[in-house]
Amino acid sequence: MSQLETLVNALPKAELHLHLEGSLEPEMMFELARRNGVELKYGSVDEIRAAYDFSNLQDFLDLYYQGMAVLQTEQDFYDLTSAYLAKAAADNVRHVEVFFDPQAHMERGIVFETVLNGIRRALQDGHIRHGITFSLIMCFLRHLSEEEAFALLEVATPYLDQIDGVGLDSSELGHPPSKFKRVFEEAGILGLKRVAHAGEEGPPEYIWEALQEIGVDRIDHGNAAARDQRLVDHLVETGMTLTMCPLSNQRLCVTPDLITNPLAKLLRAGVRVTVNSDDPSYFGGYVNDNYLAIADALDLTPAEIIMLARNSFIGSFLPDADKERYLDEIDTVVSELAAPGI
């Protein structure tokens, strides 16, 4: 194992940007299609993988929404979430803050409780089995209307003790954060954390909107910030966290390759950058794969890799005492490894 792999494997990490539906591996898609009598348009796992060749976000989303049609029962959502947690545990991930997309299931006739109960039960069992702590973030699909987002918030209101935050995902261009200003305001009043995908394909103005009109606690992706120095300065001054996803950016052609990813530029400017996998089944890698690929492409130093792991806990919704405990653990791991360059 290389020194880089040893370091990345050894570091405790949090994953803050993960769509559970995007962790649906082709093998499980096949198995659930068989179990639920759903017809797939692919004849094999290899055919599914071969279809994962995207030119942009929408290309991916079209397959993502198709793929999740196999998720029908509470057990399916339990199995999906459990499989992700096993992968996360293998990558030494200690805390996860995961997204789910209820509207994409409800429009197929799946009731909200089926989705929520399967996911929650798996998260609780994952805590027992792997020691992984968690937050759950319910996303509004931004290609749908404000009215539909309000309707979801109403359905979810009796379950707010089981949901930690709300997010905003799906097709970004043409659907600025300001479209959901009022629903996020209401979510804030209900005591929910707020995050939003911004600046993945969209311009820096969408990041400004997420910050100033929605009052987000974190920005998901945020790549476009690198094109606006005033925004970079603002992110640094306010200690805002970006949940970046390098392999996703590469596969969705947000950046032409990993070498042009703005992650190092933002990190070196002092922005609180984190590394995450987004939709690992579709983009070819879980969280450690993302650390390794971006560290290699951008020549990140060991100190920078350690900073990314530290940021993942600092930028999480964990209580301060838990953050401190994980940061102490990172210090212990680093001193035991005596990693070069520190």
Active site residues: 200
> Under the criterion CB under 6 A, does residue 102 sit at the interface with ligand ADE?
no
Number of residues located near Zn ion, criterion CB under 5 A: 1
Please, which residue, 16 or 226, has the CB nearer to Zn ion?
A: 16
CA atoms of 335 and 162, how far apart (whole Å): 38
> Under the criterion CB under 6 A, does residue 15 sit at the interface with ligand ADE?
no
> Under the criterion CB under 6 A, does residue 23 sit at the interface with ligand ADE?
no
Residues 222-251 that bind ligand ADE (CB under 6 A): 248
CA atoms of 209 and 205, how far apart (whole Å): 6
CA atoms of 243 and 226, how far apart (whole Å): 14
Site string for ligand ADE, 51-90 (x = CB under 6 A): ------x------x--------------------------
Enter the tokens of residue 325: 């405990």
Q: What 3-state DSSP class applies to 167?
A: strand
> Under the criterion CB under 5 A, does residue 74 sit at the interface with Zn ion?
no
Q: How far is CA 234 from CA 13, 205, 239, 272, in A?
A: 26, 13, 8, 12
Contact 315, 321 (CB under 8 A): no
CA atoms of 102 and 114, how far apart (whole Å): 10
> Under the criterion CB under 5 A, does residue 278 sit at the interface with Zn ion?
yes
CB of 168 to ligand ADE, least distance (A): 9
Enter the tokens of residue 46: 């290899």
> Under the criterion CB under 6 A, does residue 19 sit at the interface with ligand ADE?
yes
CB of 127 to Zn ion, least distance (A): 23
CB of 100 to Zn ion, least distance (A): 12
DSSP letter string, 211-232: HHTS--SEEEE-GGGGG-HHHH
Residues in contact with Zn ion by CB under 5 A are 278
Residues in contact with ligand ADE by CB under 6 A are 19, 22, 57, 64, 169-170, 197, 200, 248, 278-279
